[in-house]
Amino acid sequence: MHIQTTNDRELWDSFKAGDDRAFSQIYETYADLLFSYGMRFTSNREIVRDTLQELFIKLYKNRKNLSTTDHIKFYLFCAFRHQLQNELAKVIPSVDITECETTFTLDQSALDQLIYDEKELNRQKKLNQLLNDLPVRQKMVIQYRFIEGLKYEEIAQLMDMNYQSVHNLLQRALNKIREEWQDDKSLLLTFFLIRRMQEGR
């Protein structure tokens, strides 16, 4: 789980100043994460891979003119989403990346890391199934809030929604989970432990 710190600002500023080691660190830290993010919108691995490569090339070439950020992951998410939308539009005219959200899937590898005790695997499987059965937009807000650790304002920007709409969407998702688990107290406890763990990071 990524945490916003002054290290992000220092790393980004070093990259902007021409430090190739900083660029390599950013690439190695976020390339796989961004690729997985892109694959949630399209099954075309080649487009996602090429778009990711083009994004980092553009970042490197224009590094001196990039804006400052203290949250590199969010910055890259926004930039990559915009770049991917442009690339998909070349293949499918008039495509809107929101249309691709119908294929959005939760990051299984990230979910796998949320529970460390092997005895909880069965609960984890049920949790994964329940989350993936949620409506697409509810799935996305769960992913961004509890797995990616983004703030409401950041989620609103990524999903082209206002703050209150994001909050309401998340509450509907959580209420749905509570309804499904009301007869399974241990499963419900697992979910809220995950929430507490994520919010505490």
Render pLDDT for 130-158 as a digit per residue (tens, 0 to 9): 777 888 888 888 888 877 778 888 888 88
Q: What percentage of the chain carries pLDDT values higher than 70?
A: 69
Residue 74 neighbours by CB distance under 10 Å: 23
**Looking at residue 140, what is its pLDDT?**
85
Render 3-45 in DSSP notation, one character per residue. ---HHHHHHHHHHHTT-HHHHHHHHHHHHHHHHHHHHTT-S-H
Beta strands (DSSP E) in the chain are none
**In the predicted model, what is the mean pLDDT of residues 22-45?**
90
pLDDT in tens, 84-117: 888 887 776 544 445 445 445 555 555 454 444 4
What is the per-residue pLDDT for 70? 84
Question: For residue 176, with 0-12 CB atoms within 10 Å meaning exposed, 13-18 middle and 19 or more buried, which class applies?
Answer: middle
pLDDT digits (tens, 9 = 90+) for 36-71: 888 888 888 999 999 999 999 999 999 999 988 888
3-state class percentages of the chain: helix first, strand second, coil last, to nearest 5: 75, 0, 25
SS3 label, residue 117:
coil
CATH numbers and ranges of domains, the chain: 8-91 (1.10.1740.10), 118-199 (1.10.10.10)
Please check whether residue 181 is in contact with residue 187, taking contact to mean a CB–CB distance below 8 angstroms: yes
Q: CA-CA distance, 45 to 178, in Å (whole number)?
A: 36
Q: How far apart are CA 105 and CA 191, in angstroms?
A: 19
